[in-house]
Amino acid sequence: MDQTVIIYVPLLDEGTAVWRPVGSDWLGGDRYRIRGHVSDDEEWAFKPGTVVIGKMDEYLKAVEEADGDRSL
């Protein structure tokens, strides 16, 4: 069932709204597991391995962690 999709993750401490496009595994419904590597000069709101809820706006955004699900 895994399907790779791009999801946008908010960056923290940027002074304005900034979203990073990252790969994710679609887990079904609105759940996605964040993939990738965070560079030393960025802080992602959701770390790689986190299962998040994705919501479609102008693009698919990671908006919250999915019920405490975390697995690397």
Residue 40 CA to residue 25 CA, distance in Å, equals 23
> Taking 60 as the threshold, does the pLDDT of residue 72 lie above it?
no
Residue 40 makes CB contacts below 8 A (sequence gap 6+) with none
- DSSP character at residue 71: -
How high is the pLDDT of residue 12? 96
Residue 4 CA to residue 15 CA, distance in Å, equals 30
Instruction: Count how many domains the chain has.
Output: 1
Record the pTM.
0.86
Summarize the confidence of residues 5-24 as an average pLDDT.
96
Taking only the tens place, the pLDDT of each residue in 17-71 is 999 999 999 999 999 999 999 999 999 999 999 999 999 999 999 999 998 554 4
Q: Which residues share a beta bridge with 28? A: 31
How high is the pLDDT of residue 71? 47
| Structural domain harbouring 7 | 3-70
Residue 8 CA to residue 63 CA, distance in Å, equals 9
